[in-house]
Structure 1
Amino acid sequence: MTDIRIRTEGRAGRITLTREKALNALSYDMCMAVDEALNSWATDPAVQLVLIDAEGEKAFCAGGDIVEMHSTGTAGDYDYGRRFWRDEYAMNARLATYPKPVVAFMQGFTMGGGVGLGCHASTRIVGASSQIAMPECGIGLVPDVGGSHILARLSALHPGAGAWIGTTGHRLKGMHALFGFADHFVDEHHWPTLKAAMCESGTPGIPAHLGADDLAAQADFYIEMKTIAAHFNRAPSKIAASLAADPSELAQQALKALSRADPLAAACHIEILRRLGPKSTIREALTLEYRFTHRCMEQGNFLEGIRAAVIDKDRSPKWPHAALADVPAAQVEAMLAPLGADDLTFPEDPT
């Protein structure tokens, strides 16, 4: 496959996304190739570490390949999208519970499906170019691929932060990603040498002198995050009004982003975070996410979101609800209700 390069190098299994012109967006076949490699390497004694990276400077992975989902969904075929999500989520779960160290180097855009591929690794590395976000609510989807698991844990430490980042698609730039989505900030000119050392040693160790430790930058963002998250740590019907009453630039930016999001998806994301809590597992998160994505084309607004963002590119989606406060609780409950025989299941690791 030309979109992904999978091989072993030294003591490492290597996965490199090579779809640079498409910002390394994940196709279904790419997801399945990753899962197959992970499954194979799990019991291979020659592979002591898995290293995931991508070609190009602009993006590690800017998301999933959603155009085909729109094509099949508008034709009334919802099974393609459901199969994509079901199998992708199984791969995300395998990554998050992998028995060997997994290292991800995430330059540039890491969004949506890219978060599912990189941010469940046991060692997550970012640099100055990194921008990590979960912008799904803007296209009628909830933050998925296990993103709600990360955001739920972040919310446990900083109440409201997960709802803020998830409903607005706020981009965590560089060192800011260390709040939940990454473990180490390393100058990107060190990455080639670091990758070579990891492949040779089979260990994910990072020399202390390589990790930048700009406490001032982290402290400034921490204060901002606490301030803005407080607006989202309240009933969904009161979030917009709280933001509107705050004249700060950050609050007004959040209000603008929230107003662009699909109110139904935003309400469902907030409810998913409420149900998960700090001790939830990746599989519990993916199960809730799948209940939404299974229904989002037929009963939600995902197809309209893709039309506005990717197909017609008019950036003017016609959401059924005017605002987050207008979404009935019963509709949120219906979108997240168990699917019975269609609920998400996970294959045994490894086979």
Structure 2
Amino acid sequence: MNAAAHAGEDPVLLSTEGRTGRITLNRPRALNSLTHAMVLRMTEALTGWEEGVGDVTQVLLTGAGERGLCAGGDIRAIHDDAKAGGTASADFWRDEYRLNARIARTPLTYVAFMDGIVMGGGVGVSAHGGVRIVTERSRVAMPETGIGFVPDVGGTYLLSRAPGELGTHLALTGTAVGAADAVLCGLADHFVPSGRLPELAADLAGHDVHDVLPRYAQPLPPGHLAGRRAWIDHCYAADTVEEIVDRLLTHGDPAAKEAAETVLDRSPTALKVTLAALRRARALDTLEQVLVQEYRVSCHSLSAPDLVEGIRAQVIDKDRTPRWTPATLDAVTDAEVARHFAPLGGRFGELDLDLGPGPDLGPGQR
């Protein structure tokens, strides 16, 4: 949604319109990428509204500017922290993942306008909501393997539950999808033309979203993934990334070959950890359990070389030629993959992510 933004304003704008509390991510020049302060501000706002401040019954999340809702977390800050051996990123993720869980279980009706670019952390603050609206401009992705990282913010929970192996395809390639494919994969619910979002937002000030949404929602435009299910489900069902790549290369469909080339451009370590994370996430019952797993993986990634190198190549120097370590899939050991799932310790302390009251995470999970 193209909300107005002005220089010098807070990075999160809050307002109450009728019974709707509105959150606008307001860093348009940074494509509304999330900082730790923004996460804490959103959490504070949700807490207040849940406790009855302003008689709010529903929340609307939008992004300022013309380009999209949110491009993810502030990865420049993560790069600097990882390079320095710090723990600021772990502190950020701890609060960010708590917010993701909070959004999923809030008693308020949580409406997200997923207009334009919605990636990484932007998915985390929108796709766990109860009413997720995409437009003809939506480009939704979890592109982490391209920077030597692994899908987080509950992304492996969402993608592990997509039909067939669609989630595996999106997680390994980082492919951005439009409205129809986002709905197909369970990342969104409704399609509304972007030009009608301001009118819908105005209507929410005095009405419940479920009462007015039928006047705005339209049939989905054509997507791509439904017609590719045959090769996606076959190729990505393999047990290893190497076998997935081999199946993609030998399948015969040009789109499968293109997917293989994309996968081979990503961090070998991130690919193997991502596949393991997705398969493990399928066996976990709740979002909270998966977030605990993702927190371990994210923190352990700080001490692996590919995260710093990937952000350097894609964002800092922008040479687009990361030098992955190791450089090939066969050089990534099972022990290195397993290390990412080990309980935390050392500079991160002895405790895993604590999500507070919620579903029982089971022995050894919390």
TM-score, normalised on structure 2?
A: 0.89
Structure 1 residue 124: Cα displacement: 0.1
Match of 1:303 in 2: 308
Matched, 1:230 2:265: no
**Local SS of the residue matching 2:206:** helix
Are 1:239 and 2:247 counterparts? Answer: no
**Shift, 1:101, TM fit:** 0.7
| Deviations, residues 250-309 of structure 1 (Å, cap 9, x unaligned) | 112211210121111111111111112176211111111111111112135211111111
Paired amino acid for 1:184: H
> What is the rounded CA distance, in whole Å, between the counterparts of 1:193 and 1:117 in structure 2?
22
Q: In the alignment, which residue of structure 1 is the partner of 2:105? A: 97
The whole-number CA distance in structure 2 between the counterparts of 1:202 and 1:348 is 28
Partner of 1:62: 71
Q: Which residues of 2 match residues 49-88 of structure 1 at below 5 A?
A: 49-77=58-86, 79-88=87-96
Q: Distance in 1 between matches of 2:182 and 2:334?
A: 32
Q: How many pairs are equivalent?
A: 343
Within 2, Cα distance between the matches of 1:310 and 1:104?
A: 27
Matching residue's letter, 1:292: V
State the distance in 1 between where 2:136 and 2:329 align: 34
Q: Give the distance between the partners of 1:36 and 1:202, measured in 2 at CA.
A: 23
Q: 1:338 to 1:124 in 2, by over 3 A?
A: same
Candidates 185, 201, 205, aligned match of 2:207? 201
* AA matched with 2:190: H
* Residues 65-115 of structure 1 deviation map (CA, whole Å, 9 limit, x = unaligned): 1111222222222x1111111111111110011111100001110000100
* Deviation of 1:148 (Å): 0.7
Describe how 1:144-163 pairs up with structure 2 within 5 A.
144-154=152-162, 157-158=163-164, 160-163=165-168
CA–CA separation in structure 1 for the residues paired with 2:205 and 2:308: 42
Counterpart-to-counterpart distance in 1, 2:77 and 2:119: 18
Which has the larger displacement, 244-253 or 55-64?
244-253
**Residue 299 (structure 2) aligns with:** 294
1:187 and 2:187 matched: no
Residue type of the alignment partner of 1:186: V
Does 1:251 pair with 2:251?
A: no
Residue 209 to residue 9, structure 1, CA distance change in 2 (3 Å)? closer
Do structure 1's residue 116 and structure 2's residue 124 form an aligned pair?
yes
Corresponding residue number in structure 1 for 2:271:
266
Instruction: Give the one of 4, 11, 17 matched to 1:3.
Output: 11
Given that residues 116 and 137 in structure 2 are in contact (C-alpha distance below 8 angstroms), is that contact kept between their aligned partners in structure 1?
yes
C-alpha separation in 1, matches of 2:116 and 2:209 = 25
8 Å CA contact 2:127, 2:188 repeated in 1: yes
SS at match of 1:342: coil
Q: Could you tell me which runs of 5 or more consecutive residues in structure 1 were left unpaired when the two chains were aligned.
A: none
Structure 2 residue ranges without an equivalent (≥5):
1-8, 359-366
Change in CA separation of 1:303 and 1:342 when aligned onto 2, cut-off 3 Å: farther
**Correspondence for 2:362:** none
Cα distance in structure 2, aligned partners of 1:28 and 1:168 = 27
- Residue 242 of structure 1, CA deviation: 0.9
Distance 1:213 1:291 in 2: 40
SS, match of residue 344 in structure 1:
coil
Other structure's SS at 1:51 match:
strand
Among the aligned pairs, what percent are the same residue? 37
Where does residue 6 of structure 2 map in the other structure?
none
**Which residue of 326, 331, 335 maps to 2:336?**
331
Match of 2:35 among 21, 27, 35: 27
Is the Cα–Cα contact under 8 Å of residues 96 and 122 in structure 1 kept in the other structure? yes
* Kept in 2: contact 1:70–1:306 (CA 8 A): yes
Assess if the C-alpha contact under 8 Å between 1:116 and 1:147 holds in 2: yes
Structure with more relative contact order (C-alpha pairs < 8 Å, separation 6 or more): 1
Residue aligning to 1:319: 324
1:243: how far off? 1.1
